[in-house]
Amino acid sequence: MKLNEIKDNEGATKDRIRVGRGIGSGKGKTGGRGVKGQKARSGVAVNGFEGGQMPIYRRLPKRGFNNIFASEYVTVSLGRVQQAIDAGKLDAKATVDAASLKAAGVIRRLKDGVRILSGGELTTKVTFEVAGASKVAVEKIEKSGSSIKLLEAAAKAAE
């Protein structure tokens, strides 16, 4: 096979239809746009327009709010931490915190802290120092002989 012999598979591409080239072509006169009106003209995008009737996005009431002060945590499962320890990316003897997880490539960015979730199993003894953890994750950590220090709880107790 040579470069000049390369071609697409049969039927992989369609020829474009040349519209507005005489009534006999089947796509002449109005060019497939129907008859008159706003949408027959060029440059029209009428998403959400309901012909002068109040659009549904304005008829319905607003719901809820976005709390700008809410903390956004990076979630990490116990299984993912164990995987990193097994791969030698995380040192089990050192404290596992946000900075060490980022250095190991377990998380991409720090955000407001790390929250440990219970997915997977933890078999190695580890010391955690994180912003939060789920109840089941804390139980699994203590069951494996590891310890956990919650930074968020310490910050709230200091207030």
Give 120-142 pLDDT, tens digit per residue. 988 889 999 999 999 999 999 99
Which two tokens mark 23?
Answer: 């009534």
Residue 108 has pLDDT above 90, yes or no: yes
On whether residue 49 sits in a domain, the answer given is no
Number of domains in the chain: 1
Q: How many residues does the chain have?
A: 159
CB 93 within 8 A of CB 125: no
**pLDDT tier, 45 (very low <50, low <70, confident <90, very high otherwise):** confident
Which domain covers residue 125, as residue numbers?
74-158
**pLDDT tier, 76 (very low <50, low <70, confident <90, very high otherwise):** very high
87-105 per-residue burial string, b: 16 or more CB within 10 A, e: under 16: eeebebeeebbbebbeebe
Q: Distance between CA 10 and CA 98 in Å, rounded?
A: 54
Q: Distance between CA 147 and CA 127 in Å, rounded?
A: 5
Residue carrying the six token digits 């499962």: 77
**pLDDT tier, 49 (very low <50, low <70, confident <90, very high otherwise):** confident
Which two tokens mark 43?
Answer: 């440059």
Residue 153 has pLDDT above 70, yes or no: no
Residue 90 has pLDDT above 90, yes or no: no
Q: How confident is the model at residue 93, as a pLDDT?
A: 87
On whether residue 127 sits in a domain, the answer given is yes
- Find residue 77's DSSP bridge partners: 117
Q: CA nearest 27: which of 35, 36, 37, 17?
A: 17
On whether residue 109 sits in a domain, the answer given is yes
Question: Average pLDDT of the chain?
Answer: 89
On whether residue 115 sits in a domain, the answer given is yes
State the Rg of the chain over Cα.
30
Q: How confident is the model at residue 158, as a pLDDT?
A: 61
Q: How confident is the model at residue 19, as a pLDDT?
A: 92
On whether residue 105 sits in a domain, the answer given is yes
Residue 149, domain CATH:
3.100.10.10
Q: Distance between CA 121 and CA 125 in Å, rounded?
A: 12
On whether residue 107 sits in a domain, the answer given is yes
On whether residue 68 sits in a domain, the answer given is no
On whether residue 79 sits in a domain, the answer given is yes
What is the pairing mode between strands 114-117 and 147-150?
Answer: unpaired
